[in-house]
Structure 1
């Protein structure tokens, strides 16, 4: 019954925007408790129970980080798709629409400041803003490149401040 309540709490948290820290710590704690319960059920001693709990906790944390990386990749692809058709100097709005709310929805403006092209290489340097709450804007630069008909994020390391350590 405790596991059902824990899972229900985590699912409820997914419905709330901006609860990334709670989700991270909550899933980690729930995984640790679930792992300890599993170890107790199979009759493991205290050391084994702790080890299993920590292992399950690490797995849950790695799973959440994987989901965050995928969400950030989707945001990058969305921004590249919006900026790709722009000519140098063109400005347009962009936004994200995450299928799982583990990252906040974002919006802003993007402009192409330079085109880099040679042979089959077709890239653009972009400057984009991210509008926050309360109204404030942060600015970032990136490079996008055409891959066939699709524009993709080509910057090796986005700003750590923006994407965190999970790039």
Structure 2
């Protein structure tokens, strides 16, 4: 009887934890925790499995979104690197899964040349069904490629700007 009560308590705690983390990770953690607890008749094992599954799911989702952002930034940096200053060009990212598809316009505002690196300041928009949001960013030439230089989690370290 206490095992059933402990399993129900763990299930409720797993569902409540969804209020502070991603709901997908919480759901996966709760379901796998309850299933493991029931299969092993040990609520501690169920809790450990649930927490582990939630953490793994959340980390995977964050990784995918970082990679998608990096892909979008690389596309925009490539387009802006070839664009003459002052001209505008459309950009669009379309994914196999229709999640995170975005589009807009980008324009090179100015070029910043210094002894270390050549950079460009770009103005771009992200068009939504309801509104268009403008953003300002920087791209810099690294070797033969233009790379996103604005500080964001998806940008890799510049390794001494070479």
Q: TM-score by structure 2 length?
A: 0.72
Say what the alpha-carbon RMSD is for the aligned residues: 2.0
Deviation at 1:121? 0.9
* CA spacing shift, 1:44–1:73, aligned 2, 3 Å: farther
Measure how far apart 1:25 and its partner are. 2.2
CA distance, structure 1, for counterparts of residue 86 and residue 80 of structure 2: 11
Q: Which has the larger radius of gyration?
A: 2
Q: By how many angstroms is 1:27 displaced?
A: 4.8
The structure with higher relative contact order (CA 8 Å, sep 6+) is 1
Match of 1:138 in 2: 133
Partner SS state of residue 104, structure 2? strand
Q: Is the contact made by 1:109 and 1:129 (CA closer than 8 Å) also made in structure 2?
A: yes
Partner of 2:147: 152
Any gaps of 5 or more consecutive residues in structure 1? 1-23, 159-167
TM-score, scaled to structure 1: 0.70
Q: Distance in 1 between matches of 2:79 and 2:38?
A: 52
What CA deviation, in whole Å up to 9, does each residue of 1:121-164 have, x standing for no partner? 11100000111113x21000000011122111000138xxxxxx
CA distance in 2, matches of 1:100, 1:83: 26
Contact 1:110 1:126 in 2 (8 A): yes
Alpha carbons 2:120, 2:140 under 8 Å: kept = yes
Q: Which residue of 2 aligns with 1:30?
A: 28
2:102 to 98, 102, 106: 106
Residue 30 and residue 90 in structure 1: after superposition, are their counterparts in 2 closer, same or farther (change >3 A)? same
Deviation at 1:38, TM superposition (A): 3.5
| 1:75 corresponds to | 72
Does the residue aligned with 1:79 lie in a helix, a strand or coil? helix
Q: Does structure 1 conserve the Cα–Cα contact (< 8 Å) formed by 2:109 and 2:121?
A: yes
